[in-house]
Structure 1
Amino acid sequence: MATPPNAAKFAEILRAEGLVVVEVGNWEDHNRNHKGPWGPVNGVMIHHTVTNGSAYTVDVCHDGYAGLPGPLCHGVITKDGRVHLVGYGRANHAGLGDPDVLQAVIAERSLPADNEATADGNRHFYGFECENFGDGKDPWPAAQLDAIEKVSAAICRHHGWTERSVIGHMEWQPGKVDPRGFTMAAMRARVGARLNAGKPVASAPKPKPLPTPKRPVVDLSQLRAAARSNPAAKGQPVTYKGVAIVEAALVDEGLLSKRYRDGHWGTQTTPGYAAWQRRCNYRGDDADGVPGPDSLRLLGDRHGFDVKE
């Protein structure tokens, strides 16, 4: 249990651990403190984003989206190992979780199973979103895993915590699966080894802002073919990589569960897209769950992809 340092000190703590830190916009004053207190803090929580593209991921975590205003975390750890600070204070990242887990983190003992959600995690945890689709296939580069280790160790070192104060979202809130692709037990072992090795002496320089990458392109005709194929029919349904991009956008809009973001246009993706069409004021046969140019372009404008017709 501890009081968070001020924003400038927080950035200094991370850089002292050897991290490359990017300060995004008004991050020092960007928070949800008007919705409730932040602190005392008890631990560090790790998430994955279900997004593709570093610049887009950072923007989403800073701004939030419909129904969930930003900041969505304190820092975004991109695949290149940079830590982008997008907010400081209360952030929309943890939600309600298991109070038994919170007490275990405070006591730094083994975590119990998460089976209820009544404790305010946004108040008690630092949150870091990590750029990854979270499908178990998207790779976790060594630079990114190193940054997760360093971020966690830096905060634990400052507060005098052990690695047991670092948890995954899946360990906090029933039904969550993030982070997926590595185990929190293995990450805690890395953090513990780093803490036991002693305090670092090097500090990374301030980097230049991350350049905006080329936006992905979704081919409308291929997407429509995938959407119209029947997974229950004989043979294989049409597959197209753009499906994963659209599904990630639907997840961000709250119209599709993360577990159905699998790159295949299935029985859950169709009603999710139909809900998006209705949100765009389409009705009847015009909201059939098969993407059209206008609704897809609107989705792309909000989620960082272009449409090829």
Structure 2
Amino acid sequence: MAVPLTADTFADALRAEGVQVVEHPDWRTHNRNHRGPWGPVRGVMLHHTAGRNSLRLCRDGTASLPGPLCIGLIAKDGTAHLLGYGRTNHAGSGSAAVLDAVVAERTPPSPGPDAVDGNALFYGFETENLGNGRDPYPAAQLAAVERLSAAICRAHGWSSASVIGHKEWTRRKIDPSFSMTVMRARIEARLSLKPVPRPAPAAGAYEPFPGTAYFVPGRRGALITAAGERLVAEGCGRYAVGPGPVWGEADVRSYAAWQRKLGYAGAAADGIPGRVSWDKLRVPHT
């Protein structure tokens, strides 16, 4: 039985394990605790999103499944986006036999009937992937899954047997679409190592304003993608596909939404970054 880590202790544990963390607004208090208790926590549950550009969905959920849908989303580049903390709508009901195995820290059996509320018992994380067997998991992304899981296990004194996939919890699910046996072996190997911490973000952790002239149609670069990801995180993404590395109309529409969110109107919300709005967007170094 374990009391959940405090939000600050949790974030510190991730950074101490070398996880690249992005903290989204109000993540420490964004949860479903009003629907029931969170804890005692028993383990970590991993998922895949079955879609792309999932930050907003994972944070806000849907009308039928309110957010947050996880504590954190692990992006393709290995960044862990912290979206909520506490009870989240990620696990649903699952197998009592699997829960017994997690508590005993042994390999889970095939899941039995859904009988236990997993939302109350697990830290839940989404990994961005289509889950179709053809969408790859980049090495940086799997390394982040490994480090994040190891960080929580290390903090609670758990072994890697405390980490399960959603597909191991219930017969209803197939996620994540990577091997949990392999991932648990990676986590166990990492727990035998001394963690290498990553510094907490500071004022210099964000990209400086590159100038208005930088944002011309067709401009290509990792900075464009990073800015788009932050716009999505702020609920201002207007992308059908993306964000991507080429500055285009979808980026302009998304940035205009950000400017309006900041209170700009008319010509001041033209979708072209200015220094003040850019600094408030806090685009991480690329």
TM-score, normalising length from structure 1? 0.66
For 2:157 and 2:138, locate their aligned partners in 1 and report how far apart those are by CA, in whole Å. Answer: 28
Which residue of 175, 180, 183 corresponds with 2:179? 183
1:127-276 to 2 correspondence within 5 Å? 127-180=124-177, 182-197=178-193, 199-206=194-201, 208=206, 210-213=226-229, 215-216=239-240
Q: Which amino acid aligns with 1:215?
A: Y
Deviation at 1:208, TM superposition (A): 4.1
Give the conservation status (yes or no) of the 8 Å contact 1:63–1:69.
yes
Structure-2 residue corresponding to 1:7: 7
1:163-207 deviation line (CA, Å, top 9, x unaligned): 000000000011210001x2000000000000012x314224425
Deviation at 1:58, TM superposition (A): 1.1
For 1:9 and 1:50, locate their aligned partners in 2 and report how far apart those are by CA, in whole Å. Answer: 30
For 2:70 and 2:162, locate their aligned partners in 1 and report how far apart those are by CA, in whole Å. Answer: 17
Which residue of 76, 79, 83 corresponds with 2:76? 79
The 3 A distance-change label for structure 1 pair 131 and 99 is same
1:48-67 to 2 correspondence within 5 Å? 48-53=48-53, 57-67=54-64
Deviation at 1:22, TM superposition (A): 0.6
The 3 A distance-change label for structure 1 pair 217 and 160 is closer
Q: Which amino acid aligns with 2:68?
A: P
Deviation at 1:211, TM superposition (A): 2.2
Q: Which amino acid aligns with 2:48?
A: H
CA-atom RMSD in angstroms: 1.6
Structure-2 residue corresponding to 1:26: 26
Stretches of structure 2 that go unaligned for 5 or more consecutive residues are: 208-225, 230-237, 243-286
Q: Which amino acid aligns with 1:127?
A: G
Q: Which amino acid aligns with 1:59?
A: R
For 2:52 and 2:206, locate their aligned partners in 1 and report how far apart those are by CA, in whole Å. Answer: 21
Deviation at 1:217, TM superposition (A): 5.2
Deviation at 1:8, TM superposition (A): 1.1
Aligned residue for 1:27, secondary structure, equals coil
Q: Which amino acid aligns with 1:17?
A: E
Aligned residue for 1:167, secondary structure, equals strand
1:60-113 deviation line (CA, Å, top 9, x unaligned): 101111200000000100000000010011000000000110010000012111
Structure-1 residue corresponding to 2:214: none
Which residue of 82, 89, 92 corresponds with 1:92? 89
1:96-149 deviation line (CA, Å, top 9, x unaligned): 000110010000012111021010100100000010000010010000000000
For 2:227 and 2:20, locate their aligned partners in 1 and report how far apart those are by CA, in whole Å. Answer: 15
Aligned length: 213
Give the conservation status (yes or no) of the 8 Å contact 2:97–2:112.
no
Stretches of structure 1 that go unaligned for 5 or more consecutive residues are: 219-309
For 1:49 and 1:190, locate their aligned partners in 2 and report how far apart those are by CA, in whole Å. Answer: 22
Give the conservation status (yes or no) of the 8 Å contact 1:31–1:90.
yes
Structure-1 residue corresponding to 2:45: 45
For 1:13 and 1:217, locate their aligned partners in 2 and report how far apart those are by CA, in whole Å. Answer: 34
Q: Which amino acid aligns with 2:239?
A: R
The 3 A distance-change label for structure 1 pair 18 and 173 is same
Structure-2 residue corresponding to 1:241: none
Note if 1:110 corresponds to 2:134.
no
Q: Which amino acid aligns with 1:28?
A: R
1:213-267 deviation line (CA, Å, top 9, x unaligned): 582359xxxxxxxxxxxxxxxxxxxxxxxxxxxxxxxxxxxxxxxxxxxxxxxxx
Q: Which amino acid aligns with 1:12?
A: D
